[in-house]
């Protein structure tokens, strides 16, 4: 049995990863936002932490010191996520910063806080990104850019931590059936409502994207499918650097590779 830190552990992909870890006999150090989000048990230690906190490194270090013994950590899985939507011209910079803090900066903070325990436990780091971190799309610029940042950060960490035998993997799913799906629908409604009346071009593009979103999210993959990739990254003898998960994710990246940039971007705008 090993201890594994999981962010976003109370719902969606994080909850599925947590269940899989418990079923395999591991203990989950669950980073959650609310003290009622996840009950404590012999296999779950909930730790209430705001992943955007300025003192995040100190908070996580304190939790590790309190709950993790000399054997160290078997892994850190960063699943926490929150969508941000709207034309970049009108996205509040506070939301842009918050997206980077939650998805990208928090990963570095977790690494800084957990690496001593990961070295002791010969553990691994797994970040859950998105195919939106490979393919730029309109209206999701703030969210997608923060996921693009994960590509660079996990790549750099993978190089830097190789001498210590600590593997770093990035899991990049397509559309997943999580609480983010209904939240995403509402974000389109809110973004359209927030547009000035004169922004007719943005309104038309957002309305078209909203219809595409409904089609794309009609048949999402299960969180457990993503959790399977996470478990492989954590425990396989030869973990992959990157895991692309889902038919939609594979299709998008294949088309991006096959088509000239102008043709691919035309296709993205037409969706």
Tokens representing 251?
């299709």
Instruction: Give, as one character, the DSSP assignment of residue 27.
Output: E
Q: For residue 94, give every residue at least 6 positions away whose Cβ sits within 8 Å of its Cβ, in sequence order, or none.
A: none
Contact assessment for residue 165 and residue 122, using Cβ atoms and an 8 Å cutoff: yes
Residue 158 backbone dihedrals phi, psi, to 5 degrees: -60, -45
Q: What range defines the domain where residue 156 resides?
A: 3-175+221-270
**How much is the pLDDT for 201?**
86
- In a domain, residue 201? The reply is no
Q: Is residue 185 part of a domain?
A: no
Collapsing DSSP to helix, strand or coil, 115 comes out as helix
Give residue 190's pLDDT: 87
Give residue 78's pLDDT: 98
Contact 15, 181 (CB under 8 A): no
Query: Using CA of residue 13, residue 18, residue 20, residue 26, what is the dihedral sign?
Result: positive
pLDDT of residue 149: 98
Give me the number of domains the chain comprises.
1
Q: What is the pLDDT along the chain (271 residues), one digit of tens a residue?
A: 799 999 999 999 999 999 999 999 999 999 998 877 777 888 999 999 999 999 999 999 999 999 999 999 999 999 999 989 999 999 999 999 999 999 999 999 999 999 999 999 999 999 999 999 999 999 999 999 999 999 999 999 999 999 999 999 999 999 999 888 888 888 888 888 888 877 888 888 888 888 888 888 888 999 999 999 999 999 999 999 999 999 999 999 999 999 999 999 999 988 7
Strand partners, 230: none
Residue 180 lies in a domain: no
> What CATH number is given to the structural domain containing 48?
3.40.50.720
pTM to 2 decimal places: 0.93
Instruction: Confirm whether 195 is domain-assigned.
Output: no
End-to-end CA distance of the chain: 47
**Catalytic pick among 143, 188, 213, 243:** 143
Q: Is 202 inside any structural domain?
A: no
Known catalytic membership, residue 243:
no
What does the longest C-alpha to C-alpha distance in the chain come to? Answer: 61
Confidence (pLDDT) at 73: 98
Whether 9 is in a domain gets the answer yes
Beta-carbon contacts of 4 under 8 Å, excluding residues fewer than 6 positions away, are: 21, 26, 27, 28, 29, 73, 74, 75, 76, 77, 123, 234
Exposure letters 130-169 (e unless 16+ CB within 10 A, then b): bbbbbbebbbbbbbbbbbbbbbebbeebbeebeeeebbbb
């Amino acid at each position: 049995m090993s201890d594994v830190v999981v962010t976003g552990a109370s719902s969606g992909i994080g909850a599925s990863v947590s269940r899989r870890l418990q079923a395999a006999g591991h203990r989950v150090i669950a980073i959650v936002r609310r003290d009622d989000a996840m009950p404590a048990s012999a296999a779950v230690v909930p730790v209430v932490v705001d992943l955007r906190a300025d003192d995040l490194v100190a908070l996580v270090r304190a939790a590790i010191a309190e709950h993790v013994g000399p054997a160290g950590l078997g892994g850190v899985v960063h699943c926490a996520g929150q969508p941000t939507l709207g034309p970049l011209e009108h996205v509040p910079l506070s939301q842009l910063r918050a997206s980077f803090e939650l998805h990208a900066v928090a990963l570095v903070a977790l690494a800084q806080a957990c690496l001593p325990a990961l070295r002791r436990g010969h553990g691994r780091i797994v970040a859950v990104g998105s195919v939106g971190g490979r393919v730029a799309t309109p209206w999701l610029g703030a969210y997608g850019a923060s996921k693009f940042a994960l590509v660079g950060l996990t790549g750099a960490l993978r190089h830097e931590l190789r001498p210590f035998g600590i593997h770093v993997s990035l899991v990049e799913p397509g559309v997943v059936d999580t609480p983010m799906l209904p939240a995403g629908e509402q974000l389109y409604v809110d973004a359209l409502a927030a547009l000035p009346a004169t922004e007719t071009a943005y309104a038309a593009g957002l309305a078209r994207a909203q219809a595409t979103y409904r089609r794309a999210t009609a048949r999402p993959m299960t969180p457990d499918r993503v959790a399977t990739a996470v478990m492989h990254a954590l425990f396989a003898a030869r973990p992959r650097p990157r895991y692309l998960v889902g038919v939609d994710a594979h299709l998008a990246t294949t088309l991006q590779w096959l088509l000239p940039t102008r043709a691919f971007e035309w296709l993205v705008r037409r969706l």
